[in-house]
A and B are shown apart, each in its own frame.
Chain A
C-alpha cells in the first residue's frame, strides 16, 4: 500500500511554455500533498503544501503565480510550472499523506523537467 504516482516521469519543453505535472495517491486518500524540487547534487527543497479543497501554502521564496498548485480531489494534485525558463529545469517530486500532521508522507517517483 501507500503508492504515489507522478505523470509524466520526464518532460522537455520550450522556454515560455507551461507544463503540468500530476501527482496521484493510488491506494489511499491524501488529505495533504507536498511538492518538492531537487537540483542536481542537492537535497530536496519543499516548495508548497496543499490540502484538498483549499489553497496551497507556499514556502518562502517560491512564487505562487509561477508554480500553480491544485488539489481538487483526495487522490490528485497538480503542479503547473507557468512560463517555464531554463532555470526551472529540475527534478520535481510530490508526496502524499492521509493527514497533515500525523501521518507518514509517501513520495512519488519524481518528474524530470528540462526547459530548453
Chain B
C-alpha cells in the first residue's frame, strides 16, 4: 500500500487559503488519493478524492501533480471550524484506507 507523508502541523489565518501538501511517491497508476479530516472526538469526514485530474467540490480543491507523486488540498477561505486533523490517504486496490498521522491544521483568528 502506498504511504503518504504530510507535515505534522500547519497554521492558517482565518479567511485565507489553507494549502495542505501531501507526498505519495510510491502511488500506483490506478490508486486514488483521498482526503479526510477529523475534528476532535468525531469520526473522519470525507472531503475530496482524485486520480489524475484536479478536482473541486463545495468543500475544497485537490491539485495532483502530473507525475501523481504529490498533491495539495486547498481550503479556499479557511474558517475557525476548519481546525482539524487532515489525512491524505492513498486508497489501495483492496479498498482499505490506511491512516497516517495527518496534518493538524490550526486556523487562527
Give chain A's interface residues, CB within 8 Å of chain B. Answer: 2, 4, 6, 32, 34, 36, 43-46, 49, 91, 93, 95, 97, 99-102, 104-110, 112
Cβ A110 vs Cβ B97 within 8 A: no
- A2 to B77 CA separation, bound complex (whole angstroms): 25
Cβ A109 vs Cβ B42 within 8 A: yes
- A68 to B105 CA separation, bound complex (whole angstroms): 36
- Nearest to A102 among chain B residues (CB) is B95
- Write out the residue numbers on chain B whose beta carbons fall within 8 Å of the beta carbon of A46: 96-99
B109 to chain A, nearest CB (A): 25
- Write out the residue numbers on chain A whose beta carbons fall within 8 Å of the beta carbon of B41: 91, 110, 112
User: Contacts A43-B101, A104-B34 given: A97-B95 contact, CB under 8 Å?
Assistant: yes
Interface core residue of A36, A44, A46, A106 (most chain B CB under 10 Å): A44
Instruction: Tell me if B43 counts as interface (CB < 8 A to partner A).
Output: yes
Cβ A45 vs Cβ B95 within 8 A: no
What class of interface size applies to chain B in its complex with A? 20 to 34
- A45 to B99 CA separation, bound complex (whole angstroms): 7
Instruction: Tell me if B45 counts as interface (CB < 8 A to partner A).
Output: yes
Instruction: Tell me if B44 counts as interface (CB < 8 A to partner A).
Output: yes
- Nearest to B98 among chain A residues (CB) is A46
Cβ B44 vs Cβ A93 within 8 A: yes
Interface core residue of B44, B45, B100 (most chain A CB under 10 Å): B44
